[in-house]
Amino acid sequence: MMICSSLGKLLDRYIFRRIQPYLLNLRTEPEAFAALRGRDLAAELDAAANAPAPDAVYAAAERLDPDVDLVYRTITFPKLSFTARLYGEVRPDSPAVIFAHGWLQPSYLSLSETAALLSRHDLPVIIPELPYHLGRRLPGEAHGARFITGDLPLTLDNFVLALTELASVVAWLRETTEEVFTLGFSLGGLLTGLYACYAVSPQQRAVLVAPAVRPAQVFLSSHLTDRLRSGVLTQGLTPADVIHALSPMDLTRLTHRLAPGDMYLVAGRGDQAVPVTLLRGLRDRWACRYREVAAGHISLWLPMILGERFGIKRGLAWCGSVADFLGG
């Protein structure tokens, strides 16, 4: 177990170093600093989490995902200009799952593997493309690079937009089924947690896998954001400014609105992006279901890819428990 955690730490550090050149150290316009200090982000997040159902949604013809041999439809939300993949059919008599992926997600590989795992529990899965990821990537940029940048006001705008889109998907699903569950990894885990805290009528069950529990601490101390942090702090902002700006997204300061037993946290013991102590603290605050895995941030999600594809059952133990929690 200690070996797995140590290897997970090494993998995290290696990957975090490799991605630094692809991150965008955008500069904030001077006049934006005053607006940042006076911004009511909590009110924006509250409005985003309670966004209404979209006016119109278009479903494309079915297509086969050859990676997992599953049929999916591309769902378009034209008013907000984003798309999502829907694996399976949403039915009135069963729950549906929204899967919110992580930051810098480059492909549908692990996402479709997740859909395959949940499909065995007869759960339809919809996967929204978060801003600047997958099909929304801007030419010449890495997937998701413009979501979190050295421009802190732009980054906050992106979080509000992503939460609005997540709420819109929930509202759309509820036109068919009353039971909507969410599963989120890393960035997606934070968004899932924010929705559970700010939405008046949140999802019925939620799984947060390695969520960025305290975004300010992750931004200010993790090697994942080394390049962005140095850029932000040389523009005139202080660590205290960053903590104040991101405090409305700090899950340790919020209370979720789910029923007891319907929140599940998964942590990597060797996580180099989100320290396991933060997840343990949130577990104690929320008194929720909790699982700790001997893995780092990156290696925590590898079983979802390798286990499904190559039949590695040992690594899939926690993944199976998540599927049972959502499908039980």
| 179 secondary structure, DSSP code | -
Place of tokens 């924010």: 194
Residue range 271-300: average pLDDT? 94
Q: Which residues lie across from 174 on neighbouring strands?
A: none
C-alpha distances (whole Å) from 162 to each of 84, 139, 148, 155, 222 are 13, 20, 12, 11, 22
User: Is the model's pTM score more than 0.85?
Assistant: yes
For 234, phi then psi, to 5°, come to: -95, 0
Query: Which of 19-33, 155-169, 256-270 shows the lowest mean pLDDT across its residues?
Result: 19-33
Q: How far is 133 from 270, CA to CA, in rounded Å?
A: 26
Which pLDDT score, from 0 to 100, does residue 315 have?
47
Q: How far apart are CA 267 and CA 209, in angstroms?
A: 6
Q: Residue 314 above 50 pLDDT?
A: no
CA distances from 136 to 19, 37, 164, 199 (A): 19, 30, 16, 26
Q: How many domains does the chain have?
A: 1
Supply angle C-alpha 165, 87, 191, rounded to 5: 30
How many CB atoms are closer than 10 A to CB 292? Answer: 17
Q: Read off φ and ψ for residue 282, nearest 5 degrees.
A: -70, -40
Of 190-204, 229-243, 293-307, the range with the lowest mean pLDDT is 293-307
Q: Alpha helix locations (H) across the chain?
A: 2-19, 30-37, 41-49, 109-119, 152-173, 187-198, 215-221, 226-233, 239-246, 276-286, 297-310, 317-327
152-173 vs 239-246: helix crossing angle, rounded to 10: 20
- 206: enclosing H helix or E strand: strand 205-209
CATH number of 213's domain: 3.40.50.1820
Top mean-pLDDT range of 117-121, 184-188, 256-260, 301-305: 184-188
The bridge status of strand 125-128 relative to strand 82-87 is: antiparallel
How many other C-beta atoms can be found within 10 angstroms of the C-beta atom of residue 288?
18
Structural domain boundaries, residue 242: 2-327
What percent of the chain clears pLDDT 70, i.e. is strictly above it? 94
| 3-class secondary structure, 250 | coil
Scanning the structure block, which residue is given the tokens 């494309």?
60
The whole-number pLDDT of residue 15 equals: 92
